């Protein structure tokens, strides 16, 4: 069977505190976008086989798809195996949840292939055991996300916006980014202001509340992030922000001409440039 694995952007990401278990408490507004990986998955006699058009993605037990497939085989006593091929369009170390979206897609696919009849809640709970962003990627709906990514409150209102993604060649390790974060110097905005903006269809309030606590440490590692943000704003985008722990920067606009001009400006200048938009309805 064929399934799409949709990427996400963080319209807001606020690191609240470091928890005693070593994880960080987060508040985020996450939105799915139309950029996606394409996954083909079939039942085979035994084992887990993964292949890809990507030369850098691991295809062994380090891969998040392998991990969720192994967990599901064990949890539900699945004797047969799966063969997975993924066409990667979402870049790695980009802050776009490429790995998590692939993992979520495999959970959904195996649920269908093996007639497990799991609910979205059950699939999200399973995914949480493997990766913090997988629960969001199971639902693929704009959400206010808390904790380490496991507590989701859906924002039941569409947010229509064109998005330009620009990623420099260097990625950012999420672990290194969090380790170098100085919370004493971080500024915090209330994510609930953005929720209000989306629910009341107040585009400017959404733009005014774009924020990402992880931007500063990521910019220290990849200075081009700051340059891309500056260039997006100079080109007329309404807002620009790094997604997740980076290194992708996104520009938001509702003007097709600005989107097209931005795409033409960045194309060939940076490693990855893609036009997309917020995904509201599947």
CA 76-80-81 angle, to 5 degrees, is 100
DSSP structural state of residue 207: H
CA gap 64, 69 in Å, rounded: 9
Alpha carbon 282 to its chain centroid, in Å, reads 17
CA 89-96-158 angle, to 5 degrees, is 100
Q: Which residues are catalytic?
A: 8, 133
Residue 110 tokens read as 């195996």
CA gap 167, 158 in Å, rounded: 26
Q: For 7-76, give the secondary structure using H, E and C.
A: EEEEEEEEEEEECCCCCEEEEEEEEEEEEEEEEEEEEECCCEEEEECCCCCCCCCCCHHHHHHHHHHHHC
Residue 6 tokens read as 């949709």
CA-nearest of 152, 161, 155, 153 to 240 is: 161
């Amino acid at each position: 069977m064929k399934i799409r694995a949709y990427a996400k952007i963080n319209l807001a990401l606020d690191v609240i505190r470091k928890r005693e278990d070593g994880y960080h408490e987060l508040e985020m507004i996450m939105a799915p976008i139309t950029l996606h990986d394409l996954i083909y998955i079939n039942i085979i006699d035994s084992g887990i086989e993964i292949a890809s058009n990507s030369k850098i993605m691991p295809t062994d037990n380090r891969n998040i798809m392998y991990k969720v497939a192994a967990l599901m085989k064990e949890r539900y006593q699945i004797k047969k195996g799966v063969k997975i091929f993924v066409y990667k369009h979402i870049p790695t170390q980009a802050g776009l949840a490429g790995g998590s979206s692939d993992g979520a897609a495999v959970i959904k696919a195996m649920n269908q292939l093996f007639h497990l009849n799991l609910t979205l809640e059950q699939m999200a709970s399973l995914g949480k055991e493997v990766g913090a962003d997988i629960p969001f990627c199971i639902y693929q709906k704009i959400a206010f996300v808390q904790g380490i990514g496991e507590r989701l409150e859906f924002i039941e209102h569409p947010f229509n916006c064109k998005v330009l993604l620009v990623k420099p060649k260097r990625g950012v390790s999420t672990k290194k980014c969090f380790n170098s974060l100085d919370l004493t110097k971080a500024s915090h905005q209330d994510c609930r202001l953005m929720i209000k903006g989306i629910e009341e269809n107040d585009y400017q309030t959404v733009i005014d509340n774009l924020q990402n606590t992880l931007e500063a440490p990521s910019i220290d590692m990849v200075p081009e992030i700051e340059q891309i943000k500056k260039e997006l704003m100079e080109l007329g985008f309404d807002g620009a922000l790094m997604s997740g722990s980076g290194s992708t920067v996104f520009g938001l606009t509702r003007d097709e001409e600005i989107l097209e001009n931005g795409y033409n400006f960045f194309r060939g200048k940076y490693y990855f440039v893609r036009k997309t938009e917020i995904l509201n309805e599947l």
